[in-house]
Amino acid sequence: MSVDGRLFLCLFATQSVDLRSHLAAGRPAEAVADAVREAWQARGDRYSELREERRAKGKRQYPTVRMSLVGG
């Protein structure tokens, strides 16, 4: 989770789930947990596979989020 309330479901993700509305509204912890659970179950990440496909095609870079953005 980034400092601005965005949840990245993978270290290689370029999109995130915005949890700010849940946090700012003061929703109960269980409601926030439900939002995280929903996002996790609905994810369609294949980032490792997609990176390998790009590498095999001679494309070296795959768009990523900088680790410093998400606290790494």
| Model pTM score | 0.58
Mean pLDDT of 63-68: 65
Backbone conformation region of residue 34, classed left if phi is above 0, alpha if psi is from -120 to 50, else beta: alpha
Classify residue 39 by burial, with Cβ atoms within 10 Å: 0-12, 13-18, 19+.
Answer: middle
What is the C-alpha separation between 64 and 70, in angstroms, rounded?
11
Q: What confidence tier does 72 reach under pLDDT thresholds 50, 70, 90?
A: low
Q: What confidence score (pLDDT) does residue 24 get?
A: 87
Give yes or no for residue 9 having a pLDDT over 90: no
Mean pLDDT of 14-27: 88
Q: 46 φ, ψ to 5°?
A: -140, 35
Q: What confidence score (pLDDT) does residue 59 get?
A: 74
